[in-house]
Amino acid sequence: MNNENKNMMVPGAIVLAGIIIAGALYAGGSHSGPSTAPVTPGVVPTAGITMKDIDASDHLLGKADSKVTIVEYADLECPYCKQYEPVMNQMLSTYGTSSGQVAWVFRHFPIHSRGPYEAEAAECAADLGGNDVFFKYIDKIFAVTKADNNLDPAVLTKTAGDLGLDTKAFQSCLDSGKFKDKVQASYDDAVKAGARGTPYTVLVTKNGKYPLSDAQGNVLGAVSFDQLKAVIDNLLKQTR
C-alpha cells in the first residue's frame, strides 16, 4: 500500500461508518430507513458553516455568479456519488450552463482508499485538458467504475487517452503526486464544511450556504432529480 492511501485510511474509516448508516437512506431513494414516509429534502441554514469560498481553483460548470451554486463534495469510488452524477448532469441540462440560474462545483472528498489517487488523476486530466475535460473525465470514471475500490488503476490512464490527452504526460503527472496536496486540502475543507459521507451537497446563494437536508435538518446524500429540483426552484424564488 502506498503512503497516500495509508494517510487517507484513518479519516476515511471514520466517515465510512457514516456512509454505511446513510446508505439506508440513499439506497431507499425517497424513503428514510425503515419508515415508509417519503423524505422531503429542504435546506436548513447552518450558522457558521465553514467552507472554502468558490474561486478560480474550483472545477465549475455554469456561471460563477449563478443564483444557486451546487457545491458537491464527492469520491470517485463512492457508489452513491456514481448514482448522483446523472442527477447533477440533468440539473445543468435543465437549467442551462449559460442561464446564470444554477452552477455546479465539484470538490474532492476521497474517503475510500483508492479515492485520493483517482482524485489526483482527475486533477491531472484538468491540468492537461482544462475544466471541461475534468468533468468529462469524472463522468467517464463514474460510468465505468463498480465503485467501492474496484476500479483498475490502468483505467485512469486509458480514460485520459480516450479523451485525447497525452497519456505519457498524464501518467507523469499522476506519478509525480503533483496534486496530492490539492486533493488533501479539498478533503480537509469537506470535513470543516460538515461532510461526514459522500456525496455531501452545499447549496450556495447570495443569502447563505445551505447543506442539503430534510425538514428535520438531517443531511441528505444522493437524492433524486425531482427532489433536488424542488429545492433548487425554491431557492431560485428566494434569490430573485
- Residue 216 is predicted with a pLDDT of 82
- Residue 41 is predicted with a pLDDT of 86
Sign of CA dihedral 206, 107, 48, 15: positive
- Residue 4 is predicted with a pLDDT of 42
The CATH number of residue 40's host domain is 3.40.30.10
- Residue 37 is predicted with a pLDDT of 45
- Residue 226 is predicted with a pLDDT of 94
- The number of distinct structural domains making up the chain is 1
- Residue 239 is predicted with a pLDDT of 80
Q: How far, CA to CA in Å, does 117 sit from each of 63, 71, 79, 82, 236?
A: 29, 21, 17, 17, 36
Query: Consecutive 10-residue runs of the chain (240 residues): their mean pLDDT?
Result: 41 36 32 41 78 96 96 97 97 93 98 97 98 98 94 97 98 98 98 95 93 88 94 89
Asked if residues 91 and 126 have their Cβ atoms less than 8 Å apart, the reply is no
Among 67, 3, 47, 25, which residue's Cα sits nearest to residue 238?
A: 67
Q: Which domain holds residue 186?
A: 3-238
Cell 492511501 locates to 5
- Residue 190 is predicted with a pLDDT of 97
